[in-house]
Every structure is written in structure tokens, then in C-alpha cells.
Chain A
Amino acid sequence: MISVDVTASRETDLPAATSPLRLFLAVRPARAVLAITVLLGALAAWFGLIQTPIPTSIEDGKAIIPLWRMIAMGAGILPVLALTSPLADLELVATQRLRSMQRRYLAGLSIGCAAIYLAICGTVLHPAVVAIIARAWIAWFGLALLAGAILGWRLAWTLPAATAAVLWYWGYSGSQHYYWWEFSARPHNDLPSLFLSAALLAAGLVAYAATPWRRRRWTWRLPRPKPSPPTSTSTSTST
């Protein structure tokens, strides 16, 4: 066996020790996400109360929707987009260390983004409106996690966008009333929509936690498709 000698003096030429957090964040768009969150918060604060017509399924086809309801969707998706990593292929062999850092990153960034967004909105918007935005944010975040876990983090916007289309088109029941599942518009103290938001958040978190090993464990009792045999009939050997 040939041994490889390491020249000890080389190590002093390397850059100074880098913190794990700095390394982790260096490959993730956390800063951009925070900056865009601030921007969306500012938009919601300045323009959020502007009402605009959108097509709905009833009442002469149009309802009025305030901009803050739309902007909240964008704010909820952002922290999930930040989970994208260019090293994803290499991070598949995710050690406990990495997963722990990912969890802390997701929790910290999402709570931070939510806090920043709601705080900026709260400078202008009524507390009841901010409460609705908070409830909707939770639901959008959960939907984004669900979409991202299934399709990839860069496609986290797909399920929220499709859900928004359904919500805003069919969710209005007329005379300023909304169906119970319209979590982006129901009154701030409405419980069913709050439970729905919490359920969507839970679904998203479960999807996030569903590694291949866990999915196998959760589905092992379900009937599995019968595998087709391989094309060769060679037997295995062992040493």
C-alpha cells in the first residue's frame, strides 16, 4: 500500500477556520430571502390596503381583494425557497449534524421572516388584519413546505399558487362573507380557518421530515406494487 505524505507546513496557508453556520449559510440564499421579506413587508404596509378586483365564481364575477392578502402568500413561501442548496447532491448523505443545522436554519429563518414581515405590516395595518396575515402565513408556509418536499425546494411556490387560485376564485360566498376554508380572508378570530392553517403547517412539517427511510417505515404496512423481476437470472455470490 502506498502511503501519502502530507506536508505539514501547507496547513498554515489555509484560510482561517470557518464557523459551521457561516459555511452552511454561504451556500444558501438566506440574505436574499430576508431582503425580499423586508421588501414584501414594506409593500404590504404601504399598498396593502389598496383594494383590487379579481375574478370570482359569483356576484357578477368580481370581488374586491386587498393587496395584503396576496402579498402574504409570497412572504410565506420565501423561507422555504431558502432551503435550496447547490450542494444538495452531496448533502444527501445527511449526517445528524447537517440535519440539525437544517432544522435550526428553517426554524430560525421562518420565524425571523414571519416576525419581520408581521412587524412591518403592524406599523400600518390594523392588529386584526395582522392576525389574519399571521394565520394565512402559517398556511402558505405549510403548503410551500409540502410542495418543496415533493417537487424540490425551488418549486415550493407551485402548491401555494394553485391553492390561491382556488381560494380566491371559489372562496368568496358573497356579501363580504367567505367560506370557512378561506384562511386568507376569514375574520381574525375564526377558529375553523385557524385549525386549517395549523393542519397545513403540520402537513408541511411532516413532509419536510419525511426522509426516504421514514417514508419506508410509514408505508411498510401498505400494500406495495409487485416488483418485476430483473432481466438476468444470475445468482448472487458472497465472499
Chain B
Amino acid sequence: MSVVLDALSQGYGTSTVIDSLSVALRPGITALLGPNGAGKTTLLRTLATVMPPRNGRIRIDDVEISGERSARRVRDRIGYLPQEFGFDPKMTVADFVTYAAWMRGVPATQWRRSVGEALEMVDLTDRRRAKMGSLSGGMRRRAGIAWAVVGRPRLVLLDEPTVGLDPRQRLQFRKIISGLGETVVVLSTHLIDDVAAVCDRVIVMHAGAARFDGTVAEMEALGRDGLPGHSRLERAYMHLLPEGEQQL
């Protein structure tokens, strides 16, 4: 799986949120870091083919996404979990994840296996018959992660996936993400610890552009003393922000 963005621009109305971004994504875990309004969610929605780009091109595997038809062709390979998502409170967890498996074209004969696998990954097997409405916020987010990964899509897009998870669950989440194999994973997060623990690559976005695109180690090297932060990665992040935003 490969994802290529070429001079991508995106926005709403007359405002530009992403400006001429060029990025190539390969299997591995890429973190999208950046302040609120940087364009992270917009980028994820564009990658998910939910929003057509204003300018530029998207290529997912060998498919150039130029219209509705090509977008639908690749959506079988995409697992997208938005930051906030609705659910039917009366639906069981198993049915919720099965719905995603069906949408993604997992053959019906493999639903049990795929759904079981996804629920096992997020440690919700015991709650498979529970109604979505009865779950806590953290469990619901885990169910959402199961939605995104069921059927092993090759492009997984997660927007703030660890919101509401306790420390143990976050550790489990890291384990899940790390075990996705040859999958392009893009996760938008504010949690530097998660980035440091599992990500191969970091893209720091600010005002619609990428201010950094490299490995975790390369980013850590930018973290100099004197900047706010409790870790090198945090200091590196602060270093990458414009001067006016570097002090607390």
C-alpha cells in the first residue's frame, strides 16, 4: 500500500486549511502532530476520500482518486475513525463492528473471524453482546478502533484515537497499532508519548503546511534545551512552532 499526496490543497469556503502539501506514505505508523486548526483532521478526511481536494492529487495504491467512482474503489482499503462518531445505542458491539466489515467487503463467511480478531485486538471480546449505549466512553472509542481495523484495511486513519483511554488501554492501543503489519497507519494525536512509543514517522503540521516530516529520532535531534517540554520530543515540537508560539 502506498499513499501519495501531490501539492494537495484543501479548505472550506474561501479559507485554506492545507496549502500545497506533498507527502508519500508507506507501510508504517505516521503521527500527525500539530496545534488545533493545523489541518490534521482535514488531512485525514481528505485521505479517507470523504472530501475531494481543492487542488492537487491523491493516489492510493495504483488508483488516482479523481472522482466518486475511483474514491469508492479504494474505500474498501480504508479504515477511518473520526474524532467524534455517532452510534446506535441499541446496536451490539459485535454488530457495530460487523457493519464495518460488511461495508469494507469482508466476505460474510469471514465476518466471525474478522470481527472476533478486531474485538480481541481492542479487548472487547467480553463485551461483544453489550449494547453500544451501555459502554463507557473509553470502551466506545475502542469499539471505534475495532471498526477502523476490522478486515485489516491497508490504510488506517485514526483521529485522536486514544482520547478517553486509561493508561493501560493506551498501552494496549500501542500494541494494537504496532501489530497491524504492512498497513499505512496515520494517526492524529496530541500525545507525544504515543508518538515516541509507536510511530516510525512524524509530520508536524501548522497552518496547513508540514513544518517537519521525518523520523522520531530526527525530530528529537531538534529538541534543544531552553524550550518548554519534559522530553526531547516535546521540546522538538515546540522548536518547530513559529517563534511567537514557542513560549508558554
Which residues of A pack against B, CB within 8 Å? 1-4, 6-7, 10-15, 17-20, 23-24, 26-27, 86-99, 211-214, 216-217, 225-232, 234-239
State the CA gap A93–B104 with chains docked (Å).
10
State the CA gap A26–B23 with chains docked (Å).
40
State the CA gap A185–B17 with chains docked (Å).
50
Bitwise interface map of B from 201 to 234 toward A, beta carbon under 8 Å scored 1, else 0 = 1000011111111100000000000000000000
Q: Which residues of B contact A225 (CB under 8 A)?
A: 13-14
Q: Which residues of A contact B23 (CB under 8 A)?
A: 236, 238-239
Q: Which residues of B contact A11 (CB under 8 A)?
A: 112-113, 115-117
State the CA gap A232–B210 with chains docked (Å).
10
> Across the interface, do A239 and B213 meet the contact criterion of CB distance under 8 Å?
yes
Q: Which residues of A contact B111 (CB under 8 A)?
A: 17-18
Question: Of B88-96, B162-170, B188-196, which binds chain A?
Answer: B88-96
Closest to B74 in A: A95
B135 → chain A closest CB, angstroms: 14
Q: Which one of B50, B121, B144 contacts A4 once the chains associate, using CB atoms below 8 Å?
A: B121
Q: In the complex, which range does the number of interface residues on chain B fall in? A: 35 or more
State the CA gap A224–B95 with chains docked (Å).
43
Please list 28 pairs of residues, one from A and one from B, whose beta carbons are closer than 8 Å in the complex, sorted by A's number.
Answer: A1-B178, A4-B120, A10-B119, A11-B116, A14-B94, A14-B116, A14-B128, A15-B92, A17-B108, A20-B108, A23-B95, A23-B99, A26-B91, A87-B99, A90-B100, A92-B48, A93-B49, A94-B103, A95-B76, A211-B68, A213-B71, A217-B67, A226-B14, A227-B54, A235-B209, A236-B20, A236-B209, A239-B23
- 8 A Cβ contacts from B1-27 to A: 7, 9, 11, 13-17, 19-24
Q: Which residues of B contact A91 (CB under 8 A)?
A: 103
Which residues of B pack against A, CB within 8 Å? 7, 9, 11, 13-17, 19-24, 45, 48-52, 54, 67-68, 71-73, 75-76, 78, 80-82, 84-89, 91-92, 94-95, 98-100, 102-105, 108-109, 111-113, 115-117, 119-121, 125, 128-129, 144, 147, 175-176, 178-179, 181, 201, 206-214, 242
User: Which 3 pairs between the two chains have the least Cβ-Cβ distance?
Assistant: A232-B207, A4-B179, A11-B116
Q: Which residues of A contact B11 (CB under 8 A)?
A: 227
> Across the interface, do A93 and B48 meet the contact criterion of CB distance under 8 Å?
yes
> Across the interface, do A90 and B85 meet the contact criterion of CB distance under 8 Å?
yes
Contacts A17-B108, A211-B68; is A90 near B82 (CB within 8 Å)?
Answer: yes
Contacts A214-B68, A229-B16; is A6 near B117 (CB within 8 Å)?
Answer: yes
A37 → chain B closest CB, angstroms: 22
State the CA gap A97–B101 with chains docked (Å).
11
Q: Which one of A4, A6, A23, A214 contacts B116 once the chains associate, using CB atoms below 8 Å?
A: A6
Contacts A10-B116, A15-B129; is A95 near B103 (CB within 8 Å)?
Answer: yes
> Across the interface, do B24 and A86 meet the contact criterion of CB distance under 8 Å?
no
Contacts A23-B98, A239-B24; is A96 near B73 (CB within 8 Å)?
Answer: yes
Closest to A213 in B: B68
> Across the interface, do B67 and A214 meet the contact criterion of CB distance under 8 Å?
yes
